[in-house]
Amino acid sequence: MQPTTAVKFSHVLKQCMAWSYQYLLLSLFGFSNQMRLLLKAFARLTGFWLKYFDYLTRWNPYQIEAASGFYFLGKKSTRRLSDAAVLRYYEETIKRS
C-alpha cells in the first residue's frame, strides 16, 4: 500500500509524563488557586528531569502511542481507506521506524 499523504509523529513522551505528574499533584493537593499555582511551579521545578526519558526511548517505534500530539502534513486524498488498510499502514509505519 502506497500512502498518498505524509504523516509526522511528534514523539513527546516527556510531555505526557510531565502532565501526568503535574495533574497528579493538582488532584491530590490543589484545593485552592494559590495552592494550584504553587503545585504547578513545584511540578516544573522537580520534574525537569523527565525530558531525558525521550533519549532513552527514541529507538522504540511504539513511543508514538504515548505522544502528546500527532501532526498531519500533506493533502487530503480523494480515495477512502478501509479500517483494515489504516491498521496495515500503521503497522508498516511502526516496522519502518
Tell me: the pLDDT tens digits for 65-76? 666 666 666 777
pLDDT digits (tens, 9 = 90+) for 7-62: 444 445 667 788 889 999 999 999 999 999 999 999 999 988 887 777 777 777 77
Q: How confident is the model at residue 81 (pLDDT cuts 50, 70, 90)?
A: confident
Picking from 17, 10, 14, 12, the residue whose alpha carbon sits closest to that of residue 51 is 14
**pTM of the prediction?**
0.53
The set of residues, in sequence order, having a beta carbon less than 8 Å from that of 51 and lying 6+ positions away, is 14, 18
pLDDT of residue 10: 44
Q: Which helix (H) or strand (E) holds 9?
A: strand 6-10
Say whether pLDDT at 4 is over 60.
no
What's the angle, vertex CA 42, arms to CA 37 and CA 48, rounded to 5? 130
Task: Give the span between the Cα atoms of 97 and 88, in whole angstroms.
Answer: 15
